[in-house]
Amino acid sequence: MNEVNEMIRVLVADDSAFMRKVLGDLFSRQPDFELVGTALNGRDAISKVKEQRPDLMTMDVNMPVMNGLDALAVIMKECPLPVVMLSSLTQEGTEATIQALSLGAVDFISKAGGSISSIDTIEEEILSKCRNAARAHVQPIVMAKEPPAALPVKKRIELSTRHGLRPPTTSKEPTSAHAVRLARRENPLLKKRSPLPDGMNKLNIIPAAGSETRPAGCRLVAVGTSTGGPQALQRVIVQLPADLPCGVVVVQHMPAGFTKALADRLNSISRIAVKEAEDGELIRPGHVYIAPGGYHLRVEARQTSMYICLGQDPPVGNHRPAVNVMYDSVASLGRQLVAVIMTGMGSDGCEGMKKIKAAGGYSIAQDEATCVVYGMPKVVVEAGLADEVCPVQDIARAIVKAVRR
């Protein structure tokens, strides 16, 4: 990882001579970047990465000889480094981008119309994403595709064994490694509710008098994540059981056009149902709802049920969807809520988590070692708002345990 004052050594991989030229010139003009080379295709990219050992690489998906996805899989296994993908907004392009992020790419740059015809309009986006990516924590990725959960157990075990994966468990709670559990602070709000802070969306779902738990239909898990999130979500959601007794709402910082591809991919490899959220739909147990890019996601209560509410009001903290907006809308659920904060840059989610903790909600944060960017979880942990800090592979277990406690 580069220190702030060190040069970021970057490799550009693209089969287009035009793109290699304009990106190379862009980086060469910056005082904090050094262009160490260019690659013509995926195979060339692998060779140049091993030879030059750059700090960062930009890579197109569609290249001859070996495409960007196949090259990325090799690079993340043998010589991992931060990679920013160049992606088109076509359906094929968005699906490839989501696959790249699942394979370990840190971020992506959208190419409107399928190509970057006027790079000056997105220069700042390219430079900002590449500077942020260069500071990301990446590790070797050895992750075969999970066999689809819809397959019969016998067939899934056969596929798992063939690909070197742990056979799927039939127990209701996933197996896990160790988690760091923080002592939960005694909060008077857990025993007696007091008025909630101004601006909070008050959900009229209150536990029955004398009850420590909530009705099954009123449980909710709220997950917030950003940079590195697609890979983290894959690690978590594929482990959630189909019979999870609550719904899950997710905010992943991602522009419009990509969240549906993310939801569809996760749905294809998970036991639990995953979909892009739609305005007004009922939140059902055993379902995961991902906020669409460009829309804030809120949760509204109507009698004893909860519903998705989408809106395009102004970004909050430069984000839409914003984790804080989602957290604010569900904070008054109190003990009925489990909030999860995972890898991402910045501090989105911290203010909402304060309200969640004040109302008695339970919080889980991803640990530093497994975060691509330890930003959003860091501010939550350092503020003393995390009840539990887990490596990403243990978060599903922590969720299941928390909603069944």
Sequence-distant (≥ 6) Cβ neighbours of residue 192 within 8 angstroms: none
Between strands 296-302 and 287-290, the pairing is: unpaired
What amino acid occupies position 212?
E
Sequence-distant (≥ 6) Cβ neighbours of residue 159 within 8 angstroms: 147, 151, 165
Task: Give the three-state DSSP class for 112.
Answer: helix
Q: Which two tokens stand for residue 132?
A: 């942020």
Instruction: In whole angstroms, give the CA distance from residue 263 to residue 95.
Output: 10
Instruction: In whole angstroms, give the CA distance from residue 78 to residue 46.
Output: 9
What amino acid occupies position 103?
L
Instruction: In whole angstroms, give the CA distance from residue 224 to residue 233.
Output: 10
- Which of these is catalytic: 107, 253, 387, 394? 253
226 classed as catalytic: yes
- Which of these is catalytic: 226, 270, 332, 363? 226
Instruction: In whole angstroms, give the CA distance from residue 372 to residue 215.
Output: 36
Peptide bond preceding 80: is omega within 30 degrees of 0, i.e. cis?
no
Give the DSSP letter string of 268-282. HH-SSEEEE--TTPB
Sequence-distant (≥ 6) Cβ neighbours of residue 92 within 8 angstroms: none
Name residue, tokens 């501090």. Answer: 347
Instruction: In whole angstroms, give the CA distance from residue 138 to residue 134.
Output: 10
253 classed as catalytic: yes
60 classed as catalytic: no
Q: C-alpha angle 388/392/395, rounded to 5°?
A: 50
Q: Exposure string (b/e) for 32-56, b if CB count within 10 Å is 16 or more?
A: ebebbbbbbbbbbbbebbeeeebbb
Phi-psi region of 113 (alpha: psi -120 to 50; beta: other; left: phi over 0): left
Q: C-alpha angle 50/51/53, rounded to 5°?
A: 65
Q: Which helix (H) or strand (E) holds 371?
A: none
- Which of these is catalytic: 44, 348, 367, 394? 348
- Cite the active site residues: 226, 253, 348
